Amino acid sequence: MPHINAAAALQICVLLTALPAQYFISQWYGTDSAQRIQITERLIIASWSTFTKSCLSLDAWADRLKLWLSKTRTCLNVGLLILHFRNWYYGEKKTKIGDNEAETHSYFAESTHVRSPKPEYIQFSVGQVIVHKRFGYSGVIVGWDVKAKAPEGWLQHKYSPAKQDLKDTPHYRILINKANGFGKSTAYIPEEEITIIMGLEVVHHPDMKAYFSGYDGSKYIMQPWLKKIYPHD
């Protein structure tokens, strides 16, 4: 099959368009052949001139390129504005969420603030096994605060007006031994309600391995991340 280059294809297109053009010319301008030929030539020349100006002119392509770049820049600017807005909105939202999380995690001895130096009046240590004096359940200490850190509503509900002074005493976060069937998995209790027991290794709780790596005979051994928070326990 012979190869047709771009120039040959263009010539064929011009010839093919000439036939229907002659037909319409004969319908509108009469049947005189010389007149039809003259008009056809003018039509072809005009069409070719328009084609070269619009498709083969560097200026025309430059104008198209400028228009395209202008539209592209506009779209890009709009896209950047949208992106900046999204980043601002979700960034601000994330910051607010982060602040709330930080505030929440500072409660109930969950703060990652390093407890150093350890005050002398903190009697017990992370990893020690305890028994609650009133309720009788056992558990293990996983954190402490020098005084109660909890939402004010929680403190008001937990402590009656006669016991409000307990808010200023050391508080401990406890993983409650599941074997007791107490119903709660954690507790946050003041120091005066705790009794330490020795030699009790078995504390069943799904989070034990997250906090401790083993038992040394007197207390559970803290994981490295927990030891950094309580370096003196």
Domain boundaries, the chain: 41-78, 106-229
Specify the pairing of strand 220-222 against strand 212-215. antiparallel
**Burial class of 51 by CB neighbour count within 10 A (0 to 12, 13 to 18, 19+):** middle
* Cα within 13 Å of Cα(82), Cβ side: 6
pTM recorded for the entire structure: 0.57
Torsion of CA 15, 18, 20, 26, to 10 degrees: -150
Written as six digits, the tokens of 89 are 């909105």
Fold type of domain 106-229: SH3 type barrels. (2.30.30)
Contacts of 170 (CB under 8 A, 6+ apart): 121, 122, 123, 144, 145, 146, 147, 190, 191
Strand partners, 220: 215
The pLDDT of residue 95: 35
Low-confidence ranges of the chain (pLDDT < 50): 8, 14, 25, 29, 79, 82-104
Q: Could you give the CA distance from residue 211 to residue 172 in angstroms, rounded to a whole number?
A: 15
